[in-house]
Structure 1
Amino acid sequence: MGDWGPVVIAVVLFVLLTPGLLFHGVSILVHSIIYFALVAVFLIAIGVHITTG
């Protein structure tokens, strides 16, 4: 079956880091950089994997 680790990590970080992004331009850039860094750490460095089946 599929590996759900990247999907879960991406969704959780997206939900945690998006408050107010529609109205603050600088906030979008800062949160995008933080989001990219955390996703890279969790998916590449740590290697989070959640499998089903």
Structure 2
Amino acid sequence: MADWGPVVIAVVLFVLLTPGLLFQLPGNGRVVEFGNMRTSGLSILVHAVIYFGLITILVVVVGVHISTG
């Protein structure tokens, strides 16, 4: 049996938290920009910290499991 929970959560969070795709925090002109498809180094750092925090909470603390087989 394989545990697909961490894989699914990591992929979904990666897509949702890609800087500039849905939102960018901090934006180039404002604090938050939506759908501008541009990014900066600070934005990448902020999104990486948010990604790490959410994946840690969901996988380690909550313990999401999706079993197959």
**Structures share fold, TM-score greater than 0.5:** yes
1:13 and 2:13 matched: yes
Bigger shift: residues 3-12 or 15-24: 15-24
**RMSD, aligned CA:** 1.6
Q: Which residue in 1 is equivalent to 2:64?
A: 48
With a CA cutoff of 8 Å and minimum separation of 6, indicate the structure with the bigger relative contact order: 1
Aligned length: 53
Identity of aligned residues (%): 66
- Structure 1: runs of 5+ lacking an equivalent: none
Moved over 3 A (4+): none
Q: Which residue in 2 is equivalent to 1:27?
A: 43
Judged with a 3 Å threshold, the aligned counterparts in structure 2 of structure 1 residues 19 and 29 are, in CA distance, closer, same or farther, namely closer
Q: Which residue in 1 is equivalent to 2:3?
A: 3
Q: Larger % of strand: which?
A: 2
Q: Larger % of helix: which?
A: 1
Flag the structure with larger Rg: 2
Q: What TM-score, normalized by structure 2, do the two folds share? A: 0.70
Q: What TM-score, normalized by structure 1, do the two folds share? A: 0.90
